[in-house]
Amino acid sequence: MITLIDHNAVQELRLNRPPVNALSAELLSALREALESAAHKCRAIVISGAPGMFSAGLDIPLLLKLNRNGMGSLWRELYALIKTLANSPVPTCAAITGHAPAGGTVIALFCDWRVAARGDFKLGLTEVQAGIPLPPLLLRALQRQVGARHAERLAVAGLMLSPEQAERVGLVDELASPEEVPERALAWCRNLLALPPRAMSATRRLARADLIALFETASEEELHTVLDNWWSEETQSVLRAMAARLGK
């Protein structure tokens, strides 16, 4: 589910779960394990997707077939993945190669830098549109990235943004043509690695300490609340309607 591409000091981890890189527990686990392994072998990491599709977010039709234990495992894998990203000892860059709604944006949010493809693509934390209250950890990470007022506007409405809109509010850091996104992500990594490594790494740890600290309050109780919300009548109704529209 993860294609490894070596770029000398930088390793690219390309999501490879066709057709839309929808997030399952297996894909989340595979990405986390690839991140942990790559961090011991390289000096920076790029996470990329397929042309036109970074990740469509959680695999809703698949998840609707899971029981509570299965859903608990999936959300724990998601939290473990983003904690690994937040704590990564080496810089990480999301090469957002196309659409990245919901879970796709979540992955990018916990990277150091985000390069998004220009074009008719959408991204954003769209959980409310799917009937899912945005978990506190994700809201706090969004507030850190775009500021409290933009975070409120984006999260409460579950807004889908174009890449240009996402750049204007700070949800992504850089835009590039679709074919140039992976190379721009690699260039960002190489520019960072050209700096004095000890000074860069120490300052990076200090700058990201608040992001890492978010996980100190992301308790098991929060996960139970997420699961309770998932199984609510409203959420299940919205999710099943979405799955029906997808023909699943």
For 164-189, the pLDDT digits (tens) are 999 999 999 999 999 999 999 999 99
* Domains recognised in the chain with CATH numbers: 2-179 (3.90.226.10)
The backbone torsions φ and ψ at residue 228, rounded to the nearest 5 degrees and listed phi first, read -60, -40
* Sheet bearing 113-117, strands edge to edge: 2-7, 10-15, 44-48, 92-96, 113-117, 174-176
For 96-138, the pLDDT digits (tens) are 999 999 999 999 999 999 999 999 999 999 999 989 999 999 9
**Global confidence as pTM:** 0.95
For 3-62, the pLDDT digits (tens) are 999 999 999 999 999 999 999 999 999 999 999 999 999 999 999 999 999 999 999 899
Residue 121's CB is within 10 A of a number of other CB atoms, namely 22
Question: Cα separation of 175 and 143, whole Å?
Answer: 21
Q: Report residue 248's pLDDT band, with 50, 70 and 90 as the boundaries.
A: low
Is the N-terminal amide bond of 135 cis, ω within 30° of 0?
no
Chain Cα centroid distance, residue 120: 19
For 70-105, the pLDDT digits (tens) are 999 999 999 999 999 999 999 999 999 999 999 999
